[in-house]
Amino acid sequence: MKSPANILETYWGFNSFRPLQEEIINSVLQGKDTVALLPTSGGKSVCFQVPALATEGICIVISPLVALMADQVRNLKSKGIKALQLSGGISFQDLQTVLDNARFGNYKFLYLSPERLQQEVVQNAIKLMPVNLIAIDEAHCISQWGNDFRPAYKNISLLREMHPLVPMIALTATATDEVLTDTIQELKLELPDIHRASFARDNLSYHVLKEEDKLYRLEQLLKNLSGKAIVYVRSRKMCVEISNQLNTLGIASTFYHGGLSPEEKAAKMQAWQQGTAPTIVATNAFGMGIDQPDVRVVAHMQLPDSLEAYFQEAGRAGRDSEIAKAVIIWSDHDKQVVQSQFVDSYPTVKDVKFAYKKLNSYFQIPYGEGAFSTHPFSFGDFCHTYELNSLLAFNSIQVLDRLGVLQLSKTFGRKSTVHFKTTSEVVLAYFKNDMRASVIGKTILRLYGGIFETAATVNLQLVATKSGQSIPTIIDVLKQMERDELIELQLQTTDAVLTFMVPREDERTINPLAKEISLQKQKKSAQVEAVLHYITNETDCRSKQLLQYFGEENTTACGMCSVCTKSKGTISAKEKKVISEKIKIQLEEGPQTSRELSEKLIFAETDIVSVLRLLLDQGSIQLDIRNRFHLK
């Protein structure tokens, strides 16, 4: 057996491990169940990949992040390591081929999602594999208190029953003490070794800015930024709007959200990574599995719903260990929005029962039946039929999904596209001869500008509301217009597929889950309260606040955040040194004024001026008659 150090050097080219990696690897090699709590970019994957390579057999890796699985499999293959991934949409024949390869092909890693593990054919194949290690990535997802709770994680303990003597390693970068305890219990880990690294990031400063003109503050933050930036918002509409506004201001930007096609997502990701559009404005659909080293700023233009989510998103800045900023820009209105969106709209037990009853009525499911039945689902039509509050209804369906009552497919939000492929004169002449087409067609033309130049994503429910026509009528008219070669049409009549996992028993289905639903509402309320406390606490170091939230008590002030620099009135020796080095690098390009330096560096202008005075006093730089600084 090769030593861990030898494997690390052979495949990764490093001659030493990062902090805690070697201890975690040795724990696994000793056959112990192990928990690894490492910060974002702390090198979690090496902690299971190295011991798996050091022993005979195959490592089963459970991960919820499809993008991350694909990246890791690709990286392993590039190193000459045999790895497989069970991706979504794979045919049964291809699935069987992958499982046979994993069993007989001397592969070292099989990556799959927790949902894929629920398939009997997958379970039967894994039982027969020579498994040497079970790795659970993003292990906090198994806990009902975890920020990304996923019901399918509850069944991961099946692997323990299949291979009771095989060690299991649980890895996460986001876990409070409560989540950690719950994770260990749910995974049935036996006296696990727990290795917890500090989540402190010495190069990352946290800032909270209360602003009425948030766009102006964002512009100042991003103008002349060297490196990349991620700007997080909560809606797809705002993604597009802020990206367009930044481009108008001369800040090259693109946007990213869950409603884009895979091709559009790939193109926008490439533009960002290659620096064509160094700023990307995104919803939380962006970031999972993304490991871009040169992100200098992560800005939140709206409040996150939890510190767990914020810490993970903020942690995408500064992965190259260079100085970076995580900034929340907020106003009083944002406090009301986050409360309304995530607490007031979080369903009660009564709300969940009501939504479940309406779903059964909508699909006409008889009492005692419906288990494992699958139905195309138009969320907009469902809400319209029963005049439901869409946010409350969606949250209720998500609760039912998390609790295993039903499953909502990932196609949620897909829409139809329409492209008028002839001239406006021909279209208007067509409308004169067909009143229904005129009403529906003119409604679409009013709602979606530019539809003659390019295909527009059309919300059929919105068209129905504005035109007064039913969705079936609209579909019939659009299909006729397509046959008459007036439009190009891609019709998506449902946003989702809904699968009922248990028979319909009305209140008897929901009552056993009532306590858990109430606890989840309390948890969400507590999470939002923690966010509000974080942004309004102007006395405690931002970094200390976050670290203490995750259970780190013996922490020191960072000296770099918005609280530390404000309370001290001066900057720390550490930050003075960093700013000094950055100023000298800039002055190597030629003499510059303090304003020019402030525009090029990410530090506060007052801090830059303070360090310039210090460098003048030290004789390291000099000032000319045009108020430009020079290196001596």
Of the given ranges (244-248, 276-280, 614-618), which has the lowest mean pLDDT?
614-618
For residues 31 and 155, membership in a common domain is answered with yes
For residues 8 and 55, membership in a common domain is answered with yes
Q: Which of 447, 467, 490 is the last residue of a domain?
A: 490
The reply to whether 562 falls in a domain is: no
Q: For residue 125, is pLDDT > 90?
A: yes
Instruction: Quickly count: other Cβ atoms within 10 Å of residue 628's Cβ.
Output: 16
Can you tell me the mean pLDDT for 533-562? Answer: 91
Can you tell me the mean pLDDT for 230-257? Answer: 93
For residues 191 and 208, membership in a common domain is answered with no
Task: Look up the CATH number of the domain holding residue 583.
Answer: 1.10.10.10
The reply to whether 561 falls in a domain is: no
For residues 39 and 105, membership in a common domain is answered with yes
The pLDDT of residue 548: 92
Q: Which of 490, 514, 549 is the last residue of a domain?
A: 490
For residues 321 and 236, membership in a common domain is answered with yes
For residues 158 and 10, membership in a common domain is answered with yes
Overall domain count for the chain:
5
Q: What is the residue range of 437's domain?
A: 416-490
pLDDT category, 151, cuts 50, 70, 90?
Answer: low
Task: Look up the CATH number of the domain holding residue 226.
Answer: 3.40.50.300
| Token pair recorded at residue 587 | 């002055």
For the entire predicted model, the pTM comes to 0.69
| Token pair recorded at residue 84 | 């497989």
The pLDDT of residue 18: 87
The reply to whether 558 falls in a domain is: no
Can you tell me the mean pLDDT for 85-106? Answer: 84
Distance CA 102, CA 97 (A): 9
Can you tell me the mean pLDDT for 361-390? Answer: 89
Q: Is residue 282 within 8 Å of residue 257, measured between CB atoms?
A: yes
* 487/606: higher pLDDT: 487
In 3-state terms, what secondary structure has residue 166?
Answer: coil
pLDDT category, 285, cuts 50, 70, 90?
Answer: confident
**Helix 605-618 vs helix 573-587: crossing angle, to nearest 10:** 80
Residues of the chain with pLDDT > 70, as a percent, come to: 94
The string of DSSP letters for 485-538 reads TSEEEE----SEEEEE-S---THHHHGGGHHHHHHHHHHHHHHHHHHHHHHH--
Q: For residue 537, is pLDDT > 50?
A: yes
Q: For residue 288, is pLDDT > 70?
A: no
For residues 13 and 158, membership in a common domain is answered with yes
Q: For residue 326, is pLDDT > 60?
A: yes
The reply to whether 55 falls in a domain is: yes
Q: For residue 283, is pLDDT > 80?
A: yes
The reply to whether 212 falls in a domain is: yes
> For 105-116, how does the pLDDT look when each residue is reduced to its tens digit (9 = 90+)?
999 999 998 878
For residues 451 and 319, membership in a common domain is answered with no
For residues 102 and 209, membership in a common domain is answered with no
Per DSSP, 365 falls in state P
The pLDDT of residue 465: 79
Instruction: Quickly count: other Cβ atoms within 10 Å of residue 215's Cβ.
Output: 15
For residues 13 and 136, membership in a common domain is answered with yes
pLDDT category, 453, cuts 50, 70, 90?
Answer: confident
Can you tell me the mean pLDDT for 586-599? Answer: 87
| Token pair recorded at residue 631 | 């290196």
The reply to whether 541 falls in a domain is: no
Can you tell me the mean pLDDT for 261-281? Answer: 90
Can you tell me the mean pLDDT for 433-460? Answer: 88
The reply to whether 549 falls in a domain is: no
Please provide the average confidence, as pLDDT, over all residues in the chain.
88
Per the listing, tokens 């992965």 go with 319
The pLDDT of residue 567: 60
Distance CA 259, CA 410 (A): 11
Closest CA to 409 of 375, 380, 384: 375
pLDDT category, 412, cuts 50, 70, 90?
Answer: very low
pLDDT category, 147, cuts 50, 70, 90?
Answer: low
Task: Look up the CATH number of the domain holding residue 509.
Answer: 1.10.10
For residues 374 and 512, membership in a common domain is answered with yes
The pLDDT of residue 554: 79
The reply to whether 249 falls in a domain is: yes
- What residues does 487 pair with on adjacent strands? 420
For residues 86 and 59, membership in a common domain is answered with yes
Q: Which of 330, 360, 388 is the last residue of a domain?
A: 330
